[in-house]
């Protein structure tokens, strides 16, 4: 009769291949069913759960109260969904994953592979990506897929911003006394500069205001200095940014991101 050591599960044995060893699976059709977008794996987590799926996911063994085997996974799902709800991704791109992106040509396939590399190797990533090309080539979709996958896999704080009139108007409102967000400029800028991962969508449509250019340059520069990972999408060839902020924006982008074109057309302008 000896003391029987508690079996320690190796991480790779804890969860099954069905859930990609994560213990969490997507819930397709969750919107129609009014369910949650992520669920504990039905093969390796749910069968062992004996807590009735009720928070705080404890079980009473009669002698003591212990964590249910599902607890870690359910708490992680709650955390991921919380992050996702504040990440700012457009409704139409929410909870998209690689299966939703159809690579129609070689460039699209290269882009998908690059996106997959980032998701698989994070946080050991040297550069982000600057996706550029015609509208409708899936740049935003692919960026949102990366965002979703990183949040789901790593529970990191990711953010999505679309560079538009609305974006700048909201930022400008933080300078206007009496507006609901008055005085929050630095909080918003800090949040975007310090997020673990940021998608800047539709970059380069705003060329008329020095303030707007400077705001974007400051954001990109702050992320560069903090060595934060950024994905940018644009309808414009990055060569056309040569004039923006005396070329400082383009040079920062090139240092931070790999440039990838997503379009059948060839309109390179001597990069």
Instruction: Mark the segment that binds Zn ion (CB under 5 A) among 63-71, 78-86, 135-143, 238-246.
Output: 63-71
- 152 is written with which tokens? 């789901």
Nearest alpha carbon to residue 94 among 157, 152, 134, 41: 152
Backbone angles phi, psi at 10, to 5 degrees: -70, 145
**Residue 16 near Zn ion by CB under 5 A:** yes
Give whichever of 47 and 123 is closer to Zn ion, judged by the CB atom: 47
CA dihedral over 207, 209, 210, 215, signed as positive or negative: negative
**Residue 198 near Zn ion by CB under 5 A:** no
**Residue 19 near Zn ion by CB under 5 A:** yes
Q: Which of 70, 108, 129, 161 binds Zn ion (CB under 5 A)?
A: 70
**Residue 172 near Zn ion by CB under 5 A:** no
**Residue 75 near Zn ion by CB under 5 A:** no
Cα atoms found within 13 Å of the Cα of residue 94, Cβ hemisphere only: 19
**Alpha carbon distance 6, 102 (integer Å):** 47
Residue the block writes with tokens 């924006």 = 249
**Residue 248 near Zn ion by CB under 5 A:** no
Q: Which of 24, 39, 68, 199 binds Zn ion (CB under 5 A)?
A: 68
- 110 is written with which tokens? 């290269």
Residue 17 CA: distances (Å) to CA of 21, 23, 70, 154, 194: 5, 9, 17, 18, 34
Give whichever of 72 and 110 is closer to Zn ion, judged by the CB atom: 72
**Residue 161 near Zn ion by CB under 5 A:** no
**Residue 167 near Zn ion by CB under 5 A:** no
Q: CB 60 → Zn ion: shortest distance, Å?
A: 12
Residue 91 CA: distances (Å) to CA of 87, 154, 192: 11, 22, 19
Instruction: Mark the segment that binds Zn ion (CB under 5 A) among 47-55, 117-125, 191-199, 262-270.
Output: 47-55
Instruction: Mark the segment that binds Zn ion (CB under 5 A) among 39-47, 98-106, 199-207, 247-255.
Output: 39-47
**Residue 51 near Zn ion by CB under 5 A:** yes
**Residues within the interface to Zn ion (CB under 5 A):** 15-16, 18-19, 41, 43-44, 49, 51, 68, 70
């Amino acid at each position: 009769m000896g003391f029987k050591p508690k079996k320690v599960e190796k991480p790779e044995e804890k969860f099954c291949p069905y859930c990609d060893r994560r213990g969490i699976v997507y819930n397709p059709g969750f919107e129609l069913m009014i369910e949650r977008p992520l669920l504990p794996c039905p093969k390796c987590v749910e069968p062992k759960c004996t807590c009735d799926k009720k928070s705080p996911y404890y079980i009473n063994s009669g002698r003591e109260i212990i964590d249910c085997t599902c607890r870690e996974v359910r708490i992680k799902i709650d955390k991921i969904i919380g992050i996702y709800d504040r990440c700012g991704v457009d409704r139409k791109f929410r909870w998209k994953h690689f299966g939703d992106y159809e690579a129609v040509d070689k460039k699209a396939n290269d882009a998908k592979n690059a996106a997959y590399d980032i998701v698989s190797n994070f946080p050991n990533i040297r550069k982000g990506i600057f996706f550029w090309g015609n509208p409708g080539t899936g740049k935003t979709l692919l960026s949102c897929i990366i965002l979703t996958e990183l949040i789901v896999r790593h529970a990191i704080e990711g953010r999505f911003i679309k560079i538009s009139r609305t974006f700048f108007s909201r930022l400008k409102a933080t300078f206007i006394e009496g507006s609901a967000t008055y005085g929050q400029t630095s909080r918003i800028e800090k949040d975007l500069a310090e997020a673990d991962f940021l998608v800047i969508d539709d970059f380069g449509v705003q060329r008329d205001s020095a303030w707007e250019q400077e705001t974007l340059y400051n954001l990109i520069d702050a992320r560069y200095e903090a060595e934060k990972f950024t994905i940018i999408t644009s309808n414009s060839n990055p060569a056309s940014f040569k004039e923006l902020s005396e070329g400082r924006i383009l040079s920062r982008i090139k240092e931070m991101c790999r440039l990838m074109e997503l379009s059948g057309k060839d309109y390179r302008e001597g990069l």
